[in-house]
Chain A
Amino acid sequence: MSDDVLVRARGLEVHFPVRGQGLRRKQAGVLRAVDGVDLDILRGETLGLVGESGCGKSTLGNALLRLIPSTGGTIDFAGTDITSLSGRGLRELRRRAGMVFQDPFASLDPRRTVAQTVSEPLEVHGLRSGRSERAQRVGELLELVGLDPAVAGRYPHEFSGGQRQRVGIARALAGEPDFLVCDEAIASLDVSVQAQVLNLLRGLQRQLGLTLLFISHDLSAVRHISDRIAVMYLGRVVEIGPAAAVGTDPQMPYTQALLSAVPLPHPALERQRKRIVLRGDVPSPSAVPSGCRFRTRCPYVFEPCDDVDPALQPAGAPGQLAACHLHGVVGTPATAPDGVTAQP
């Protein structure tokens, strides 16, 4: 694995306007789905991105691929700034970076055959000229994801969820991308099928030298597949590091709580396990707390948390970073209130 960076985000923001009610629908606020993310994804690694619903992990994945416009910050892909790419350059990005979606029942056009779906990238990017060459490539791709090439002429409704997800992966791989974003790619599948798809993704990653961003709420799966794990909370990466370190010895209180809440299939272990039960709900991303965004639920909250927004800093194992003042107060002090301090 070479250590250079394939995807680099700096201060990435995706803010959505929140419209008020009434006729004129004046902008009533800002929903900070992604709120200042710094992230490096190394070439050839699998980076797991975990967090609870609404933390912005899916928005981040979409924004990195320019499928959702960012409202601030920059994105580099393979050394090129892609933040405001358009036209030909954007098309090339689409070829070099693919996406696997969550729901295999929704992500395939029901009116198009497997062959038509998988060959769409080939047609769009003019990768194979001629029908027969494309058909042959589709066959190769289907085989690559473990499907019988003979199913190319069939429609999605004839397949099970796991098989459809394989079709979705084949489509994402058709452009021979360097980078693949899997957005909750196993969440809608049965347990036994999840394992099949996880193994497939891992195998493909090794075989094709892909860089993988594996977005999931399932910490067990993420730790299994990832080299490194990034944890998101309220639009920000709050901890990142080697999978083994983050998955066993997290340094950020939120990650600790998250990890302790994951149910394990060991009855004896479960009985003696101490759960860190967090207070209340995740605040709304349209009312992000000042200072540390986790402070409203954090069991260790202390002096600087109210005022200083913690930056990611080394904590725990080598390569592990956590955005928490417990590891030394580093960050941006809260400036004059800009109207979005939150307290229920």
Chain B
Amino acid sequence: MTAPVLEVSDLRVRLRTPRGPADVVNGLSYTVGPGETVAVVGESGSGKSVSVLALLGLLPARVATVSGRALLQGEDLLTMKPERLRQVRGPGAGMVFQDPMTSLNPVLTIGRQLIEGIRAHGDVDKAAARRRAADLLGEVGLPDPERALDRYPHELSGGMRQRVVIAIALSNSPALLIADEATTALDVTVQAQIIDLVEKLQAERGTGVIWITHDLGVVAGIADRVLVMYGGRCVEDGTVDDVLERPAHPYTRGLLGALPDLAEPVDGVVPDLATVPGTPPPPTDLPKGCVFWPRCPVRGDARCEHEQPPLAVIGSAAATLPHRAATWCTEGPEGGRAG
């Protein structure tokens, strides 16, 4: 196995908020290999976005305390000097956010923004940078890339803008691409196009991808490995088949059960969806014991209320990618899809 692109261990993020300290990420460890896609799944407040913002030093230092280790190609991002981090952000790790409009400067042309990124990280003359920019736009499927260079962001549709953002993120051939709800604001048909695009580019370049989303359908389509976050912790991880087809944590099961499923045939009366009662806990007020127990339908162990279960391997430990879950109740009812 080749060396991982990213190796995160025991990442912790604490934010200062007006309502007291919030433990947004509590000991997160994972690796991303070259050409591999790791999906990070969770609901609002689960810490999924903050955990990657922390990696790239994008959290305001005033309010955020970050600890742990995050080796990007062997270099620790968390102890890196700000200047070095800026250098790394382009060629090391590119980022794509949910709303393309916020990552593009509305008063600069697409070309300006792309060329700027290319020239900031490499000794390229203007003409060469422009050619490269046009090539990139062509690669991400923008019709008529030469003309698109001189357009402003507002002249493009949402899907086209997100392609531009991806082009910018890929402009320096990063080893790692982080997509934070990158297709959430897009229509499904456009989402399908973007996902196809990322998969194609990834296959060509061997980029490692972290795909942050709340949409388990997207996860099923794109991920090699899945990490389910809840209350700032990884509560379950494993291969996409393990996690989605054989979920072990009551929360993962609950999420899957709560999803209306298009693949399921309808005949007669459609039953109600299984639900996870309540709402995710705010990071300022995490429950003691297992983070999930106040909403948990199982609670099959005396330790649930008092002790956070560690991530433990389920099934065969010999697997190259072990399936792990942080629950005391591994013997719970099988098959998450209630109803």
**Residues of chain B from 248 to 267 with CB closer than 8 A to chain A in the complex:** 254-263, 265-267
Contact with B220, one of A196, A260, A263, A281 (Cβ below 8 angstroms): A263
The verdict on A52 contacting B189 (CB below 8 Å), with A191-B255, A220-B262, A264-B263 known, is yes
Separation of A260 and B30 alpha carbons in the complex (Å): 32
SS class of chain A's interface: helix, strand, loop or mixed?
A: helix
Given contacts A190-B43, A192-B43, A219-B188, is CB(A264)–CB(B261) below 8 Å?
Answer: yes
Q: Does A329 contact B (CB under 8 A)?
A: no
Q: Identify 8 residue pairs between A and B in the complex whose beta-carbon atoms are under 8 Å apart, listed by A's number.
A: A190-B279, A196-B277, A199-B275, A202-B272, A220-B260, A220-B261, A267-B221, A282-B187
Q: Tell me whether A39 is interfacial, beta carbon within 8 Å.
A: no
Asked whether, in the complex, the Cβ of B192 is within 8 Å of the Cβ of A265, the reply is no
If the complex has contacts A192-B43, A262-B188, are A268 and B241 also in contact, measured as CB distance less than 8 A? yes
A249 to chain B, nearest CB (A): 11
**Does any Cβ of B come within 8 Å of A10's Cβ?**
no
- Is B88 positioned at the interface, with any CB of A under 8 Å from its CB? no
- B245-A277 in contact (CB<8A): no
Q: Are A281 and B159 in contact (CB under 8 A)?
A: yes
The proximity string for A residues 141-175 relative to B, scoring 1 for CB distances below 8 Å and 0 otherwise, is 00000000000000000001111000000000000
Q: Which of B160, B241, B274, B277 contacts A281 (CB 8 A)?
A: B160
Chain A residues with a Cβ closer than 8 Å to the other chain, count: 48
Contacts of A203 in B (CB 8 A): 272
Query: Which of B89-97, B168-176, B210-218 faces chain A?
Result: B210-218
Whether B285 sits at the interface, judged by CB under 8 Å, is: no
Interface size, chain B (Cβ < 8 Å): 51
A244 contacts across to B, CB distance below 8 A: 266-267
Query: What is the minimal beta-carbon distance from B152 to any residue of chain A, in angstroms?
Result: 15
Query: In the complex, what residues of B have CB within 8 A of residue A280's CB?
Result: 143
Chain A neighbourhood of B259, CB < 8 A? 191, 195, 220, 265
B72-102 Cβ-contact flags toward A at 8 Å (1 or 0): 0000000000000000000000000000000
Query: Across the interface, do B216 and A265 meet the contact criterion of CB distance under 8 Å?
Result: yes
| Beyond A267-B241, A277-B189, A282-B187, 20 additional pairs, beta carbon < 8 A | A52-B190, A160-B279, A190-B280, A191-B258, A192-B258, A195-B258, A195-B273, A195-B275, A196-B275, A203-B272, A220-B261, A247-B266, A262-B262, A263-B217, A265-B220, A267-B221, A267-B244, A268-B241, A275-B192, A278-B189
- CB within 8 Å of B: which residues of A? 52-53, 160-163, 190-196, 198-199, 202-203, 217, 219-221, 223-225, 243-244, 247-248, 257-270, 275, 277-278, 280-282
For the complex, give the distance between the alpha carbons of A52 and B193 in Å: 14
On whether the beta carbons of B255 and A281 are closer than 8 Å, the reply is no
CB-based nearest A residue for B219? A265
Closest to B221 in A: A270
**Chain A positions within 8 Å of B143 at CB level:** 280
Q: Does B319 contact A (CB under 8 A)?
A: no
User: How near does chain B come to A165, taking the closest CB pair, in angstroms?
Assistant: 11
Contact B221 A223 (CB under 8 A): no
- A191-B214, A192-B43 in contact; A217/B188 too (CB < 8 A)? yes
CB B44 to nearest CB in A, in angstroms, measures 6
Most buried by B among A268, A269, A270: A270
In the assembled complex, the CB of A44 is this many whole angstroms from the nearest CB of chain B, namely 15
Distance in angstroms from A56 CB to nearest chain B CB is 14
- Most chain A CB inside 10 Å of its own CB: which residue of B188, B218, B262: B262
Task: Assess the A267–B160 pair: CB atoms within 8 A.
Answer: no
Complex contact B258–A263 (CB within 8 A): no
Q: Would you give the shortest CB distance from A195 to chain B, in whole angstroms?
A: 4
Residues of B close to A220: CB separation below 8 A: 217, 259-262
Closest-CB distance, A148 to chain B (whole angstroms): 13
Q: Which residues of A have CB within 8 Å of B273?
A: 195, 198-199, 224
Q: Is the CB of B260 within 8 A of A221?
A: yes
- Say whether B59 faces chain A, with CB atoms less than 8 Å apart: no
